[in-house]
Amino acid sequence: MEIANIKIEPAVFLAPMAGVSDYPYRQLVREMGVNLLYTEMVSSKGYEYGNKRTAELIEFDKGETGKIAVQIFGENAEFMARAAADISAEYDIDLIDINMGCPARKIVKNGAGSALMKKPDLAFEIIKKTVNAAEVPVTVKMRSGWDEENINAVELAKISEEAGAAAVAVHGRTRSQFYKGQADWEIIKDVVNEVEIPVIANGDIFSAEDAASIIDKTKCDGIMVGRAAQGNPWIFKEIIEYLTKGKLIKVPSNVEKIEMALKHLELTVDYYGENHGVPIMRKHISWYLKGMPNAGKMKNEANKIADKNKLIALLKKYQKSL
């Protein structure tokens, strides 16, 4: 797959997820063979106003190898353009991605994220100005539409292409669905048929077979995995092996999952410090434990621990019981 002459192989991506796809987790995903990684979404206004937390979301990428895309969000074309210009000038990144798909209320109520799908003219202005300002190619991530009565991914994809976007990613759900129901892969296929730029498919990719199926059905250029990657960085290795070699690799054992959780914990605490890192890991540990014996009890115990070494001891004790 090529995005504006940037070759990306394999074309398998971790979706940008706030509070999930941070620097420590991206390190694990990179080890699974993913070449291009997206940051968590960055507020264009927060960045331009010098918000420390916002800038840190980008600073985190400096130690990574491979390709990097910074995803930005906002409802103001001027701020989006300025943020894209400043970020692409200051950091060694490969792409700027515009978030037009986030369904979170706090994002949508301010007119950003998937709310932009209701305002095609504003979406065009934001994309056009961002493309003109950025020193790197610009891509757009969207949903199928706002709700069932307003499915307009094809229209927005065409607008994105006309405004100069180098690729689009489409999640086959409406904003009103959030993450419920079934993703509509047909709308992704329609987008593929209507634009010349590359299309990345997103939604209901939970296995290597799902990845192969969505590629076959939509003829997309690449795939993006979101929720299925939570507590499961191996999914990328599974998908890549299956797509490139036709091989289904062995699913990690529960012991291996806990080993990965321990590694993830070390990376997170090293990065954020113990006071911030241990609480961050609670949700990740919950995902790693999913489906394991006495998972509920383990989650409750882990959530009460604020000390890194005590949490390690708990996980190792549990690992020995598996």
List the catalytic residue out of 100, 102, 298, 315. Answer: 102
Task: Identify whether the C-beta of residue 264 lies closer than 8 Å to the C-beta of residue 28.
Answer: yes
Residue 175 counted as an annotated binding residue:
no
Residue 141 counted as an annotated binding residue:
yes
Residue 226 counted as an annotated binding residue:
yes
Terminal C-alpha separation, the chain: 41
Distance of alpha carbon 300 from alpha carbon 310, whole angstroms:
14
Tell me which residue of 122, 123, 118, 161 sits closest to 139, measured CA to CA: 161
Residue 17 counted as an annotated binding residue:
yes
Evaluate the omega torsion of the peptide bond into residue 10 and state whether it is cis, within 30 degrees of 0.
yes
Residue 276 counted as an annotated binding residue:
no
Strands 2-3 and 6-7, how do they pair? antiparallel
Residue 171 counted as an annotated binding residue:
yes
Distance of alpha carbon 123 from alpha carbon 129, whole angstroms:
10
Residue 71 counted as an annotated binding residue:
yes
Task: Identify whether the C-beta of residue 236 lies closer than 8 Å to the C-beta of residue 203.
Answer: no
Residue 277 counted as an annotated binding residue:
no
Contacts of 233 (CB under 8 A, 6+ apart): 25, 28, 29, 31, 32, 260
The first and second tokens of residue 297, run together, are 């009890």
Known catalytic membership, residue 102: yes
Binding-site positions? 16-18, 71, 141, 171, 226-227
> What is the set of active-site residues?
102
Binding-site positions for FMN? 16-18, 71, 141, 171, 226-227
